[in-house]
Amino acid sequence: MAVDCWTVVVSLVVGALLAAWQWWRHYSTRFARLGLPYEPPVPLLGNLMGAALGSRSQHDIVVDLYNKFKPHPYGGAYLFAASLVMIRDPEIIRTVTIKDFDYFTDHADFFDSERSCPIQNRMLFLLRGKEWHYMRTTLSPAFTSMKMKNMFMLITEIAQQMVDYLKKETAAYKVSTNKDDVLTLEVKDFFTRISNDMIATSAFGVKVDSLSDPENMFYRMGKDLTNISMTASLGYIVFPRLMRLLGIPLFSPKAIEYFKSMVSETIETREKQGIVRPDMLHLLMQARRGELTSEEGEEDGNTKGSGRHLTDLDMAAQAMIFFFAGFETVSSVLTFCSYLLAAHEDVQRRLQQEVDDVMKKSGGQPSYEQVIGCQYLDMVISETLRMYTPLSAMDRVCVRPYRLPATDTCPAVDLRPGDIIWLPVRAIHFDPKYYTEPKRFDPERFSPENKHLIKPYTYFPFGSGPRICIGQRFAMMEMKVLLLYFLSRFSFQMVSKTPVPLELSPGNVFVAIKGGSWLGIRPRS
């Protein structure tokens, strides 16, 4: 009997190994069968072994893959357990994101969100098909110019709060050191805290000060929500069922419950007491009642007659997505912009001249139109976004059978529903074919005289087509306000702790500086 049991066990193990081998052969040779150039994958880790082991930045790996596939318009890549077709040609990127958008309406869900985190599954970014279209149509009027203008006051209050904090800290530092008033800060943490406060006031209607009160509950819960470990991420990408079976959450259940409760309680209080505040939660409440419409001349949607009731979970999910945008994307761009300004003092001086002119004309209280109209500020941020786009690549999922066209160097590629395409944003932004000396920081690329020379669909830090980031206008407003207020009173400068040369940190999904983002903050005389 024992021999028979061992025979069964050995047979099952051998059968499982053979099945795994057959799957691996089919998976790893997919692009060879298609006739596409590709990088052979490592089991489970695909082409991202360096990123998974913390030895290389994912952002650098994407650029290397892109360069290896020259001159082909397509290449095969492996993102852990998923195979993707990387599209290198800007014209084909235009086609799949705009002209043939109906074939690529969805984003990939690498974390199996529907089962791992229901609230994440309700976020606009991961909604699919008709559900996405409904929610996008519902929310778009919340991001028009007029709505941004209404929230502008909330953002300027946080910017002034930042200035007041730095004035106090630099003065105290000068007294304590009896030397100078150049305060050394880890600016990623600094801008993350300010972004947190902007999200709190503009999305949740809560006033906090995470610089003066670094351990406030809102900030701690926000950090818990966005602090996703690499181990948990890999686990949900490769073994989602096992992670759920073991009860290992992708997001902090305590943080999720905190923000869900906050949204529900705030909505209930406002409805009972008739409270109106010009923030995102008020706009979501208007959307639920079908009262949110676009301003005349702005074709951003209309919620009347959209046909589906927004639940509290829907509203909490859309408010919470601000954390993933604000904690990482906005704070990351501001961090790299600060570093670049410190390293290029001539650019910083010219930008401060523009800032000083605006502050003088406005009496120190610039309007929304004056801030948005800062031309050189826009050029500086645009060039920062080109060089340090927060995410190295964007994806789309094929939802209907589609054929990528044959070219001189590649055969036609037949895509099936569920196949993923990869748009290597950072790599295209660094291609010398499109940008002369791409590693050089040069805001003049985006001057009124030069920006029309940029080849279409070679600059898309916020994405492209109908699924372009819905919050790009809000993000740009945040960054412009904060930089304008900061540079009116302070300057960035390099200090002994500043990492030189700048290298990208391995193991980060979002772009980050290796060695920490240390800069000096110097009051202007």
Two structure tokens written together for 214: 């670094």
Is there a contact between 321 and 124 (Cβ–Cβ < 8 Å)?
Answer: yes
Tokens of 142: 């919340």
Q: What are phi and psi of 87, to 5 degrees?
A: -105, 120
Residue 516, Cβ neighbours under 10 Å: how many? 15
Q: Which amino acid is at 191?
A: F
Closest-CA residue to 435 (of 461, 455, 452, 449): 455
User: Is the separation of the CB atoms in 480 and 378 below 8 Å?
Assistant: yes
Strand order across the beta sheet in which 518-523 lies: 183-186, 518-523, 490-493
Which residues are within 8 A (CB) of 297 and not within 5 positions of it... i.e. 6 or more apart? none
Does 469 count as an annotated binding residue? yes
The CA distance from 404 to 407, in Å, is 9
Q: Is-contact 400 421, C-beta < 8 A? A: no
User: Residue 261 contacts by C-beta under 8 Å, 6 or more apart in sequence?
Assistant: none
Residues sharing a CB contact under 8 Å with residue 418, sequence separation 6 or more, in sequence order: 397, 398
- For tokens 């604000």, name the residue: 326
Query: 465 Cβ partners below 8 Å, 6+ apart?
Result: 97, 98, 101
Q: Which residues are annotated as a binding site for heme?
A: 469
Q: Which residues are annotated as a binding site?
A: 469
